[in-house]
Chain A
Amino acid sequence: MRWIHPLSPDTGETAGAIGGKAYGLVLLRRLGLPVPPGFVIGTDACRAFLRDGRLPDGLDGELAVAVAALEDTTRRRLGGSGRPLAVSVRSGGRESMPGMMTTVLNLGLTAAATAALAAETGDTRFALDARLRFLYGFATATTDLTAETLDAVVSEATGRGPDATAVDEATGHGPGGAAAGEAARHGSGDAGRLSRAIHEVEAVIGRRAGRPVPDDAAEQLRLAVAAVFSSWDTPRATTYRELHAIPHDLGTAVIVQAMVFGNRDDRSGTGVAFSRDPNTGERVPFGEVLFGRQGEDVVSGRSSTLPLRDLADREPGVWAALLDALDRVEAHHRDTCYLEFTFEAGELWLLQARPGRFTGAAAVRLATDLADEGVIGRHEALLRVSPHDLRHARARRLAVAGGAGVLARGLGACPGVVAGRVATTADGAVRMAAEGPVILVRPETSPLDMRGIAVAAGIVTARGGPASHAAIVARTMGKPAVVGVPDLTVTGASVRAGGQVLPEGTLISIDGTGGEVVLGSPSVTTAATGPHLLRLLEWADEVSGDASGRPADQRLHAAHAALRRRP
């Protein structure tokens, strides 16, 4: 086939031809690790699509052949009314562009296939949940509807407030969280509410697109593939490439794989994992897991995740398989790695793999540990650490050994370690700031919080990412900030985090680099005096032959220069 390549161990295409994500999946197959069966449409098809404004000649036929092969492998039928096959349709270019392009999950769940999935699994609610997720993805991929707009439509139709819409339970959108979703899963009347939500979402897509959602699975797939290709050229993606100096003419591949349902049952879920702790570099698996949900729920940061370690108790088989995968991928890269995974009914599947890309103090520790473990030589360890890492390693950090005592963890949005008393409103922050430092803790920030942020020593928000209004404002004012702490709720004058209720006035500390929130005064550390950095710098002096007392970055720089001069 010209345009389509199987995701198989003997696919020899480059990352440029099939994209970095597919390249990583082929590698996982070579390592004998579990990857959902599927195929990838190469980036050259995207370039042809963008040039001609239509799918290239021959792609339709190849799609039919590839789908038929996938149906044979899975012994399922795409959109079928017997054992239905659903697929994920994901983007993936040579360079990572996280969140910029389109994804459609659960594709192929036509009305008949959804009924068949309900009959096969005996779980109508699950099947409807999957169908609604498909409609969300299809709508956002093929129209200008946003998830927020669809949330509003659903909450209107089902007569539920914004804190507990049907779609919140179904898709992880909105502030509800996993507990609400799990409660709803076992409650009564959910199927009726989901059916109403599906009906309304179909109607709004029909109105917006000027035609109904196609009930033909092959047509759904063609539209989704075209939508992924088109998403390469959205203004936001163009801006991202411009800002990250990624060429505009690469195009994206499209990965089509059999769905693994993380929302299938209590023994299903999804997560992300590093082979080592990306905050410290310590050799301990690190990540998050979410039971009963699909992958986008973790990546979106809109649901309460659990520490990866919880998998060990609840699904020891999945945990063991995951540890094995982390070891094998790390050994292959001779570097820490990052995996995205889903498990369905106790069986692990890997959806993405790449090197871990640690920075700062974590990069220093990783490089020295890998050298001590004999995985890489000392010279390579030196070359893997950059002067930027040393600069970052000097940042003051909360001393949290192995994550002990961490109340909650979000994303560090503006560096610095501060302690202060919890205030839950801007007015409270202003009042309390007269008596000492305050940490303003909010669900998310609005302009009404600006005054509270101005007087606060630091900021914590439950929602938002590194590019959220809260993060931008915090950096503007130079306030240490932790954003996107999904496991944190603000109710009236108290905060709930890490299973504890903290009334306004409770002393907490935050780390705007690592994203930790802890109780009490901070114990502060910097890696600049840590044992790993000292060892690395000793190696640097051995290489450069200059042991005179100089700043760390000069010692590293001299070693890099000496190593580059060697043949």
Chain B
Amino acid sequence: MTASTAGDDLLVLHALRCAGFTDLARVAAVTGLGESDVESELIDLATAGHVTYTAGFFGGWGLTEAGRAADARWITEELEAAGARTAVAGAYDRFLVLNPELLDICGAWQLRPVGGTTTMNDHTDPAYDARVLGRLTDLDRRAQAVCADLSAALPRFGRYRVRLADALARATAGALDYVTDDMASYHTVWFQLHEDLLATLGIPR
């Protein structure tokens, strides 16, 4: 197994590291690989003791302790081999400037001030929702630049731009779940990007 370029095995392992315990379809969506490819990688990773499958209602794939350690080792090697630490760290700084604003926007999507009190946004005021989506679209424009820097440093970060753009497109087309609620929502993908940056740079939460 080589570490200098991100092989499918690393992509699958790292998807579980950043997205958490999840199912086959979601790993495929995170990595951009086909489900059958993901499945065969997962089986190999399970044989190596890096991932494990849990059956049942909340069933799915998750990392083992050994898998988490292997992921940390591989992504550090990948980062150093690509000489990308400075570029990723710089992009992380710019991400941190955007992060509070994204959280403000998601908070405003869920809760809105009405007459001095904060109430759940019941999405019955299209003008308000449009205002929030307008700010999300504006932030996304600035986030694109950060994503581009990240992809240039490490190509595997390219998936985030695709997934964020997809979530925003769906949300602005009226699929309201794609701001915060869906497992492929803008906030969910952003949250995973945040986790990925911390993991890649070895910064503890």
Query: Footprint of B on A, CB under 8 Å?
Result: 144-146, 148-149, 152, 162, 235-236, 239-240, 242-244, 357, 359-360, 386, 388-389, 391-392, 426, 430, 443-444, 446-451, 454-455, 466-469, 471-473, 475-476
Contact = CB atoms under 8 A, between A and B. Distances in A.
Contacts of B139: 235, 239
B198 to A, nearest CB: 8
Interface of B: 18-21, 58, 60, 62, 93-94, 96-97, 100-101, 103-108, 110-111, 113-119, 131-132, 134-135, 138-139, 142, 180-181, 185, 187-188, 191-192, 194-195, 203-205
A242 B134 contact: yes
Given A388-B114, A388-B117, A450 B21 contact: yes
A59 B17 CA distance: 54
A300 to B, nearest CB: 12
Nearest to B134: A242
A149 B131 CA distance: 32
A386 B134 contact: no
Contact of A235 (B20, B96, B142, B195): B142
A451 B60 CA distance: 10
Contacts of A391: 119
Contacts of B135: 239, 242-243
Contacts of A162: 204
Contacts of B204: 162
Given A360-B117, A472-B107, A443 B205 contact: yes
B195 A389 contact: no
Given A236-B104, A243-B108, A472-B180, A430 B138 contact: no
Contacts of B114: 388
Contacts of B191: 446-447, 469, 473
Contacts of A389: 117
A450 B107 contact: no
6 contacts: A149-B93, A243-B135, A388-B114, A392-B117, A447-B188, A450-B20
Contacts of B110: 472, 475-476
A430 B58 contact: yes
B203 A152 contact: yes
Contacts of B93: 144-146, 149
B94 A426 contact: no
Contacts of B97: 144, 146, 236
B105 A475 contact: no
Given A235-B139, A389-B117, A446 B205 contact: yes
A472 B106 contact: yes
A178 to B, nearest CB: 21
Contacts of A392: 117, 119
B103 A388 contact: no
Given A146-B96, A447-B191, A243 B105 contact: yes
A459 to B, nearest CB: 15
A472 B115 contact: no
Nearest to B136: A239
A357 B117 CA distance: 9
Rank and list the top 6 A-B pairs by shortest CB-CB distance, nearest first: A467-B107, A236-B101, A467-B103, A359-B117, A448-B20, A451-B21
- Which of A152, A443, A454, A475 has its CB near the most chain B CB atoms (within 10 A)? A475
Given A162-B204, A388-B117, A426-B21, A451 B58 contact: yes
Nearest to B57: A455
Given A149-B96, A386-B115, A388-B119, 12 more contacts: A144-B94, A144-B97, A145-B93, A236-B104, A240-B104, A357-B116, A386-B116, A443-B205, A447-B191, A466-B111, A467-B107, A472-B106
B20 A449 contact: yes
A448 B195 contact: yes
B159 to A, nearest CB: 15
A480 B195 CA distance: 24
